[in-house]
Amino acid sequence: MSTSTKDTKANSTAENSLASPGTSSRRCPHLIHPPLSPNFILTRNCSEYEIAQVEEHELTTGPLSILQTAVRTRAQVLISCRNNRKLLARVKAFDRHCNMVLENAKEMWTETPRLANGQKGRKVNKDRFISKMFLRGDSVILVLLS
């Protein structure tokens, strides 16, 4: 037996061991390395189980994993918004557009009031408490797990 034949058999054995139980790596090669884009799923004949696996992988390793961790552990997150305000809150739920349901939110911002003569005064830090709120995802700039 040549070395290339041995290598091929070793590679196929390794691929089969990485696939999920009961599936062949030849039939579903994306289970070895999850796809990089959702279009990959649309162009393949995948079962619901395989699609659920890919979605779970994206939630646990992708950028949305921060929000998933915050929901699971009930940790606070710091959210920077487009209106130059910050929110410190607990995430109750979210979706792929970064729409979020927040609890115990503290909104923080800075104002510079005008003096009587028209000049800018000292900057004043302000905040307010919001018990429950829905935050639309297009206003989110940054999410930090704190």
Query: Among candidates 73, 62, 109, which has minimal Cα distance to 88?
Result: 109
pLDDT class for 23, splitting at 50, 70, 90?
very low
- Low-confidence winner among 29-43, 48-62, 82-96, 129-143 (lowest mean pLDDT): 29-43
Domain residue ranges of the chain, discontinuous segments joined by +: 48-115+123-145
Query: What whole-number distance in Å separates Cα of residue 76 and Cα of residue 96?
Result: 19
DSSP 8-state secondary structure symbol assigned to residue 138: G
- Protein fold of 48-115+123-145: SH3 type barrels. (2.30.30)
pLDDT at 15 over 60: no
Q: What digits encode the pLDDT tens for the residues 40-56?
A: 656 667 778 877 887 78
Beta bridge partners of 90: 76, 103
Sign of CA dihedral 39, 44, 48, 49: negative
Query: What whole-number distance in Å separates Cα of residue 92 and Cα of residue 67?
Result: 9
pLDDT class for 11, splitting at 50, 70, 90?
very low
Whether the predicted model's global pTM rises above the 0.75 cut: no
